[in-house]
Amino acid sequence: MDEKMYQGKIIKAILSDDPSVKSDFTVVFLYSRPMQAVFWCPGDIAWTYIGCIQGTIKDAVFFQGRLYVIYAMGFIYTIEVGPNPTATIVGPMDSPLTGVHYLVDFMDELLLVQRNLKQIGDMHFVAKNFDVHKVDLESKKLSPCTDLGDYAFFLGANSPVVVDSRQFQGCKRSSIYFTDMMIKISSHKYGRDDLGVYDMKEDTTEPYYPPKIFQPFNQPPIWLTPNCRKLLVFW
């Protein structure tokens, strides 16, 4: 394992394919201080550090068989994994990114989701709303996406989960379910209160847990999808 990983904390693991289905897969780890990435493939004797681009990573996703990474300076790259990783820019942005961002593989389109934050206390931030954009890899431009149709996104500290709301009773269409994904110094005071569901059509956010629930844990929760049939949140 690269010694750089010992300096930070593993934030997210990203798989190119289901290892139980395809043996030729790649797993990418994002780790903090600042957010960087390493990858591993079956047969490798060590993790390979992705250092072809200098900067803080906001998120990464495998899309159509390729690894896409977005950096804080506002550029999306596709990374060619191998002994010597190389990067190609595929999506320039207008300005550096603020807030929390996710790359989502949705219906054969690459989406960039921005989680906008609001401050409600001393050094305490929660989600205000979400902006969703389609990434045009040919023109290298973004276009707004205002409707997810019958689908819903589940976002948090782990890789995004996309589900058909019609297959899950009570799941809201064209909505974004989110968990508190940050390690906060104010968790002991506020608990894990940044959990909710954002309705894209109504531009409203509401909790899906009773407001009085208090979770004073430092580690953010993650979504679990056992057998891809049930959605649970794990603390």
pTM for the structure as a whole: 0.85
Q: How confident is the model at residue 226 (pLDDT cuts 50, 70, 90)?
A: low
Most confident of 1-15, 62-76, 178-192: 62-76
pLDDT value at residue 192: 64
* More confident position, 210 or 112: 112
Q: Any idea which of 71-75, 83-87, 148-152 has the lowest mean pLDDT?
A: 71-75
pLDDT value at residue 177: 95
Paired tokens of 30:
């994002």
* More confident position, 207 or 217: 207
Q: Which residues have C-beta within 8 Å of that of residue 61, sequence separation ≥ 6?
A: 14, 67, 68, 103, 104, 105, 110, 159, 160
Q: What's the rounded mean pLDDT across residues 41-58?
A: 89
Count of alpha carbons within 13 Å of 78, Cβ hemisphere only? 14
Q: Helix, strand or coil for residue 4?
A: helix
Q: Any idea which of 22-26, 80-84, 128-132, 151-155 has the lowest mean pLDDT?
A: 80-84
- 148-169 pLDDT, tens per residue? 999 999 998 888 999 999 998 8
Q: Is the peptide bond before 19 cis (omega within 30 degrees of 0)?
A: no
What is d(CA 31, CA 156) in angstroms, rounded to the nearest whole number? 15
